[in-house]
Chains A and B, each alone.
Chain A
Amino acid sequence: MKRTLQSGWMQQVVFLGPAITAFSLIILIPFFMSIYYSMVQWDGVSSRIEWVGFDNFRAIFANDRDFANSFLFTLKITVAIVALTNLLGFSLAFILTQGLKLRNAMRTVFFIPNVLGGLLLGFIWQFIFVNSFETIGKATNIGFFALSWLGTEATAFWGIVIVSVWQLSGYVMIIYIAGLINVPNDLKEAARIDGAKSWQLLRHVTLPLVMPAITVCLFWSTSWAFKIFDVNFSLTAGGPFKSTESVAMNIYFEAFEYNRFGLGTAKALIFFVVVALITSLQVYLTKRREVEM
């Protein structure tokens, strides 16, 4: 008995078995199944599964306006969220590494929204946009607050951007702080002695050296924003008129609301291809610009 337990094969099973089993059951098998399901017509419940080949994909590309729109929405909001999150997160990190007295307390404050799940944040902001903005608008007469934020397409879009940036910037700020602390002071001193202005210092010394952190943050915020679901599920539920329906929501509704399981899986597979392409491209592009230390 002891000998079997000590054998290399048994060790392999004990150490790696649980991880491989869970991974295969939850990711690998469903992933390969999705290739099959994407080529059938099925409501997800009944025993009638009909093989349709590439018809689902044809239907999606030919005349699924909602899916195309959700893709467009997701692309646009990803660009907005990634740009603003990283801009704000980097700025906060930059400021908090300047030697402020309250830096630790402020770091905590900026991170707090990230502690909560997107669903709760969406509901919190639903209240802010609908009730609090109205109160502030009445008291201050500023047009910004008087808008019907969740009622029109443009403002609902920016509403989701505001909530997401509020949630994510604290997280990337932490990563940027870690990156900025690691920039050696003597390098900055040397550049200063050579007459570099603060802007030049930031642009030509600091930024190239924190490029690894920028890679991580861009990667992380892009993949977060592209899979956005919780925040708009609770904040706008995809409205008004499906204008803020993300791809993830479109897939969810297709399968679990309209019971078109095959079609939903085909969409999920297209979604996978796009996500994989974007993330690999992004890692490739940003890795190229890193400065080796």
Chain B
Amino acid sequence: MQTGRKYTGRLFTLEIVTALVALLFLAPFYFVIGNSFKSIGEIVKDSASLPTAWRFVNFTRAWEILNFPAAFSNTFIVTALGTIGLSLITSMAAYRIIRFPTRFNKAVFAIFIAAMVIPFQSVMLPLVKVLGTVGIINTLPGLIICYFGLGTAFSTFLYSGFIKSLPREIEESAVVDGCSPYGVFWRIVFPLLKPMTVTTLLLNCMWLWNDFLLPLIVIHNPGLRTIQLAVYTLFGEFVKQWDLGLAALVMSMTPIIIFFLLLQRYVIEGISAGAVKG
């Protein structure tokens, strides 16, 4: 960020005003968290005050109705395997495309890029049929494979830009030293890709964790619900029961917010890097 300028009175005013805007940005969280500890009567009476007592009964009820342990582990499995798998298959694909730019590989890359304009809604109906035919609809592996397909284009694109900037000499000397093509990739290239791997992992993580429409059409078995699906179902069954709903919301947003706060430096760097390349 910029330095060297004096911290003037004008800047101080700007600081105060911006801080107020920041508080405004956080206000919805105040209402949601504050009211999640209240009974429904208290919420209706006055939703702006702080709770008078810490009632955890909303949370224990929401925990059971969401089947939170199962929803959390389903989301976690899909997100973890989906993002890691995506990084593996797309780094390999990008490496092959950039280092062996045959006509076929160039065409594959061009199709990936072109397909990025296809909105998910345009393929989702036949996709359900394809998954049914293959026999992986309504399964977590099916959901994960969907993310492989949907995320391939963008992640390959990110990796390819990065691989282009890597010097070829290291790989060539490894080949001279008797390293197999797979060894060159796993022992030399993949470690060098680490910054881009962090970026793709984090960007895909946020996407997969928060995705709703794909699980909605693929998963029907209540035991396989992701957090988003579980919250959606709860709101459908317990309409206007805000004591329960708010506790469910707080519970569902906590893991991803903690994840972000711990890794925010990398998330923000990743978005900047991904955007500049994009």
Contact residues of A with B, CB < 8 Å? 5-6, 11-12, 14-16, 18-20, 22-31, 33-34, 37, 44, 92, 95-103, 105-113, 115-120, 123-125, 127-128, 131-132, 134-136, 139, 166, 171, 174-175, 177-178, 181, 185, 212-213, 216-217, 219-220, 223, 226-227, 229-230, 233-234, 247-248, 251-252, 255-256, 261, 264-265, 268-269, 271-272, 275-276, 279-280
Contacts and interface: CB of A to CB of B under 8 A. Distances in A.
A115 B202 CA distance: 11
Given A98-B11, A103-B1, A120-B253, 6 more contacts: A14-B92, A23-B112, A97-B1, A124-B249, A251-B125, A264-B125
Nearest to A268: B122
A120, A255, A264: most-surrounded residue (chain B CB, <10 A)? A120
B180 interface: yes
B150 A234 contact: no
Given A120-B231, A131-B242, A15 B48 contact: no
B130 A120 contact: no
A18 B18 contact: no
Contacts of B111: 28
B90 interface: yes
Given A111-B268, A264-B125, A268-B122, A18 B89 contact: yes
Contacts of B115: 23, 27-28, 31
A275 B92 contact: no
Q: Is chain B's interface secondary structure helix, strand, loop, or mixed overall?
A: helix
Contacts of A19: 89-90, 92-93, 148, 152, 156
B167 interface: no
Contacts of B96: 11-12, 15-16
A112 B260 contact: yes
Contacts of B28: 124-125, 128, 132, 166
Contact of B95 (A15, A105, A171, A229): A15
Interface of B: 1-3, 5, 7, 11, 14-15, 18-19, 21-22, 25-26, 28-29, 31-32, 35, 43-44, 46-48, 88-90, 92-93, 95-97, 100, 105, 108, 111-112, 115, 117-130, 134, 145-146, 148-150, 152-153, 156, 180-182, 185, 206, 209-213, 217, 228, 231-232, 235, 242, 245-246, 249, 252-253, 256-257, 260-261, 264, 268, 271-272, 275-276, 278
B271 A22 contact: no
Given A6-B180, A30-B126, A271-B121, A174 B18 contact: no
Contacts of B95: 15
A229 B232 CA distance: 13
A14 B210 contact: no
A237 to B, nearest CB: 10
B245 A26 contact: no
A134 B35 CA distance: 14
Contacts of B18: 92, 95-96, 100, 102, 106
B195 to A, nearest CB: 15
Contacts of B29: 112, 124
Given A227-B119, A276-B117, A117 B126 contact: no
A119 B232 contact: yes
Contacts of A37: 125-126
Given A102-B15, A110-B22, A118-B210, A34 B117 contact: no
Contact of A127 (B117, B185, B245): B245
Nearest to A32: B126
Given A102-B19, A185-B2, A279 B32 contact: no
A185 B100 CA distance: 41
Given A22-B145, A22-B148, A131 B44 contact: yes
